[in-house]
Structure 1
Amino acid sequence: MTQSPSQSGSVIFRLSLMMFMQFFIWGAFFVTMGSYMLNIFSGEDGINSIIGSAYATHNWAGLLAPVLVGLIADRFFNAERVLAFCHIVGACVLWYASGVTDPGTFIWLMLAYFFLYMPTLALVNAVAFANIDDPDKQFPNIRVWGTIGWILAGFIVAQTVLGWVNIPLIEMITGEANAQATAIPLKMAAIISVIYGFYCLTLPPAPPAQKGEEFSVGNALGLDAVKLLTDRNFAIFSICSFAISIPLAFYYARTNDFVAAVQFGEQSASFMAIGQMSEVLFMIAIPVLLARMGVKWMLLIGMLAWTARYLLFGLFPSSASLVVLGIALHGVSYDFFFVTGQLYIDRKAPRHLRASAQGFFNLLTYGAGMLIGNYVLGWWGDSIQLDGSTTEGWLAGATSFWVMPAIFALAIAVIFFLFFWEKNGDAKESVAETEGPAPNLEASPA
């Protein structure tokens, strides 16, 4: 598809706005959902398990999203139309969920919502790739607007930019100063989701790419790449990727209410955005660092960043600077492990298995690993009787809650260090051809 400069600029703007709204919606309520649940379900038995189960819904949906996309969007309907349907219907579910006061009903509604939302993460990429001429150069510039959307959503919910500049839009409209403990983020996300859904109908077309082709569940889930596990280093990498994603769930589900309790109160969502800012900065540095350090040390540092972050949270909850440092380490933990891991897979897998291998990696990490992690964090929080609704409760329980995943992550890092011995050039030499597009770095920007 060749476009004139003016046409190309218009399309890039429209796709960038698409990506911005896609992640603004998710960032508007997901980061603060734990704080909201602590408020709305206060007094419920097993509140930590309730929070873990609610966050696990997006992992359940993520496991099956490739199947839904492969069955419907890739074969029967234009991606932008499926995108519109998912967001308009999803907005109704999200709005209804904002008025629910029963934990079980809320969890089922979030599961229904994420079954609609998670497939759209692949659909926005499909729309973008179908309408740009040079994906390697143009797509990163489009995708970064998703991260910007997530960051801005955090600022708006917190009604401040890191405590420096106040943006009291929500308070002006609703009169609510502490929005994150209310249903306002859910309602805001629902409203934007409706607007975004209708906007999707105006996007340039993305016809089904595999119309008429036979569908394979195994291929959609990346199970064709299982044969790569016969390679010892790839097997170690895969096992450690799955295992390290278990403690990762602790960060996504509980950091915001922890930070709100021990340091930044109603402004915590703004400070959580530091993690995304760090992610963008380290993303830029990855090519240089990877060339100098190699795959093993990049992956190992990413794992150790998990340990360092949780130790900072657990041992120094009263230090604002060290809590902020723990949040900022998200850029290291995410980029050094997940982005480097995706690049490693792209080098390691034969051309015909690269897409399946990336899907298999996502299945192990964002699917199975984090799914288990969300249930583990709920069980662990209830086991130590963590009271996450008060400052006193978090200060008393921080060490027990955060040191456990820190030790777990450290153990995985040690195993990886001892058994993963692939040299820098081995991955390239393992396949006959290394040309082709860069891997699709689709993931939560959180």
Structure 2
Amino acid sequence: MVAADGALSGSARPVSGMLTGRLSALMFMQFFVWGAWNVTLGLVMQTVGIGSLIANAFSVGPIASIVGSFLLGMAAARFLSPKMLMVTLHLVGGALLFVLPRFLTPEQGGTFVWLLLGYMILYMPTVGLANTIALKSFGERVDRFPFVRAFGTLGWIVAGLIVGWAGLSASPHIFEVAGVVSLALGLYSITLPNVEPDAPQGKSLVADVFCTEAFGLLRQRSFLVFIACATLISIPLAMYYAYASAYVGAAGIQNVGGTLAIGQMSELVFMFSMPWLYRRFGVKPLLLVGMAAWALRYALFAIGDGGTSLWAIYLGVALHGVCYDFFFVAGAIYTGNIATPKGVNAQAQGMLTLFTYGVGMLLGSQIGGLLYAQLPANPSIADWQQMWWYPAIAAAVIALLFQLTFKNDRKTEAVA
């Protein structure tokens, strides 16, 4: 079906190798930008003497998810072309990335956090928008999505390897690396498929702006439980993003960026198996395995050290593929399946981003900050081990709650 503005609807868009390649390049750059600075930011801040602000710095992303994903990712996607939003947000955001390094000092650390918040308000909506463009472009062939999303993981890996090999893991210059690719992605986005915004449902402007149709999906019990558990599991997730780099550095590992990229390498392996696993097992087993993997990962961190148990650190990092793919990638597909019949795919993806990268990670960043504040100024590996038991237990409890409360109708997954 062709829209009035010439855009193809998702159900009518043909799937070709060229389209898959274009969307793969989109995902590669989308997550390269984030991975270039996010992975080792905690180590950078500790190195320049503003470790006490790590929790605040990793809270701005969740706050931006709440603000940006709602206003730009959900509401604006109703009225504006998703690809033009991508162009604007990445070009402006890329320029801001070049400004950030000069404020990474003890004297201007507070200003750095505020500027980072401004950048993240621009960036976070693009995560949901990229998913929306890919899913709508593929139409009913959503089984192609994990393959394309795998290139996002590859982008994150390449970013980490470049930062590590260049010796920039503890350097403010990580933002400039991200800035170059952000500007390139902004220009590249002009060429993306011109997918339709979500069609208005004939309700009031207020209903459109506040995305009542997307929130209405929460009336389905299974989707409500999924969103609740996705929010809760994002709490321990935030602690990994904020403090894993400092922990790995404390263990005596020199190439922190390259080591943490092992997690994305494993993510890439599992990403390619996701379509078959989703069709074979459905959403619940995948989500449950993902949450259980988070508990196991943190338990491994709690026993890992710089000596004979160094293997536990590497294994914990390598589990990232199971942790992320089995929950967040499967969850994005599940959300699309629930939202597509209602015509609110972009809003629903934005809502998922809001609750996970927004509410959940905001709580996780602040809780992690409270736990980090109990550590000495220069934590030893033993100090870190004690801290990791908290998210390990939390993830195990969340997995148990999910197992007991989530019941899904496989018919809703038929499109996958």
TM-score scaled by length of structure 1: 0.77
Match among 350, 375, 397 for residue 411 of structure 1: 397
Whether 2:299 is the aligned partner of 1:307: answer no
Whole-angstrom CA distance in 2 between matches of 1:293 and 1:195: 39
Aligned counterparts, 1:261-272, within 5 A: 261-265=250-254, 267-272=255-260
Whether 2:385 is the aligned partner of 1:399: answer yes
Aligned counterparts, 1:159-178, within 5 A: 159=165, 170=166, 178=167
Q: Aligned pair in 2 of structure 1 residues 354, 196: CA closer, same or farther (>3 Å)?
A: closer
Structure 2, unaligned stretches of length 5 or more? 1-7
User: Does the CA contact (< 8 Å) of 1:70 and 1:220 recur in 2?
Assistant: no
Whole-angstrom CA distance in 1 between matches of 2:279 and 2:87: 41
1:166 maps to which residue? none
Whether 2:22 is the aligned partner of 1:19: answer no
Q: Which moved more, 1:296-305 or 1:92-101?
A: 296-305
Residue 189 (structure 1) shift = 1.1
1:292-335 superposed Cα distances (whole Å, 9 cap, x missing partner):
76655443332222221111112222223211100111122223
Whole-angstrom CA distance in 1 between matches of 2:27 and 2:277: 28
1:47-98 superposed Cα distances (whole Å, 9 cap, x missing partner):
34x112111211111123142134434424x433332221221122111111
Residue 244 (structure 1) shift = 2.1
Residue 377 (structure 1) shift = 0.4
TM-score scaled by length of structure 2: 0.82
1:441 maps to which residue? none
Residue 223 (structure 1) shift = 1.7
Q: Which moved more, 1:97-106 or 1:217-226?
A: 217-226
Residue 287 (structure 1) shift = 5.3
Match among 246, 249, 259 for residue 257 of structure 1: 246
Residue 157 (structure 1) shift = 0.3
Whether 2:63 is the aligned partner of 1:60: answer yes
SS at match of 1:336: helix
Match among 400, 405, 410 for residue 420 of structure 1: 405
Match among 339, 350, 370 for residue 361 of structure 2: 370
Aligned counterparts, 1:36-435, within 5 A: 36-40=44-48, 42=49, 44=50, 47-48=51-52, 50-64=53-67, 65-76=69-80, 78-100=81-103, 101=105, 102-128=108-134, 135-136=141-142, 138-159=144-165, 170=166, 178-203=167-192, 205-206=194-195, 208=197, 210=199, 214=205, 216-219=208-211, 222-228=214-220, 231=221, 235-265=224-254, 267-286=255-274, 289=277, 296-318=284-306, 319-342=309-332, 351-352=341-342, 355=345, 359-382=350-373, 384-387=374-377, 393-417=379-403, 419-420=404-405, 422=407, 427-428=409-410, 435=414
Whole-angstrom CA distance in 2 between matches of 1:86 and 1:352: 27
2:5 maps to which residue? none
Q: What amino acid does structure 2 have at the position aligned with 1:15?
A: L
Q: What amino acid does structure 1 have at the position aligned with 2:185?
A: Y
1:164 maps to which residue? none
Residue 408 (structure 1) shift = 1.8
Q: What amino acid does structure 2 have at the position aligned with 1:30?
A: N
Q: Which moved more, 1:179-188 or 1:66-75?
A: 66-75
Q: Aligned pair in 2 of structure 1 residues 308, 263: CA closer, same or farther (>3 Å)?
A: farther
Whole-angstrom CA distance in 1 between matches of 2:260 and 2:141: 30
RMSD, aligned α-carbons: 3.3
User: Does the CA contact (< 8 Å) of 2:304 and 2:311 recur in 1?
Assistant: no
Q: What amino acid does structure 1 have at the position aligned with 2:79?
A: R
1:110-162 superposed Cα distances (whole Å, 9 cap, x missing partner):
11001111122233344445666774365444332222111101110001xxx
Q: What amino acid does structure 1 have at the position aligned with 2:321?
A: G
Q: Aligned pair in 2 of structure 1 residues 93, 130: CA closer, same or farther (>3 Å)?
A: same
Q: What amino acid does structure 2 have at the position aligned with 1:411?
A: V
Residue 273 (structure 1) shift = 1.5
User: Does the CA contact (< 8 Å) of 1:20 and 1:145 recur in 2?
Assistant: yes
1:19-38 superposed Cα distances (whole Å, 9 cap, x missing partner):
22222111111111111111
Whole-angstrom CA distance in 1 between matches of 2:277 and 2:193: 37
Q: What amino acid does structure 1 have at the position aligned with 2:393?
A: I
Q: Aligned pair in 2 of structure 1 residues 357, 11: CA closer, same or farther (>3 Å)?
A: closer
Residue 225 (structure 1) shift = 2.1
Whole-angstrom CA distance in 2 between matches of 1:53 and 1:340: 29
Whole-angstrom CA distance in 1 between matches of 2:13 and 2:400: 51
Paired positions, count: 396
1:174 maps to which residue? none
Q: What amino acid does structure 2 have at the position aligned with 1:327?
A: V
Residue 398 (structure 1) shift = 1.3
Whole-angstrom CA distance in 2 between matches of 1:207 and 1:288: 29
User: Does the CA contact (< 8 Å) of 2:70 and 2:354 recur in 1?
Assistant: no
Whole-angstrom CA distance in 2 between matches of 1:95 and 1:328: 31
Whole-angstrom CA distance in 1 between matches of 2:258 and 2:312: 16
Residue 281 (structure 1) shift = 2.2
Whole-angstrom CA distance in 1 between matches of 2:349 and 2:117: 24
Whole-angstrom CA distance in 2 between matches of 1:189 and 1:376: 28
Q: Which moved more, 1:292-301 or 1:60-69?
A: 292-301
Task: Provide the identity percentage.
Answer: 36
SS at match of 2:79: coil
1:338-378 superposed Cα distances (whole Å, 9 cap, x missing partner):
34445555677893387466555443322211110011101
Q: Aligned pair in 2 of structure 1 residues 144, 412: CA closer, same or farther (>3 Å)?
A: closer
Whole-angstrom CA distance in 1 between matches of 2:140 and 2:229: 34
Whole-angstrom CA distance in 1 between matches of 2:291 and 2:139: 36
User: Does the CA contact (< 8 Å) of 2:39 and 2:245 recur in 1?
Assistant: yes
2:3 maps to which residue? none
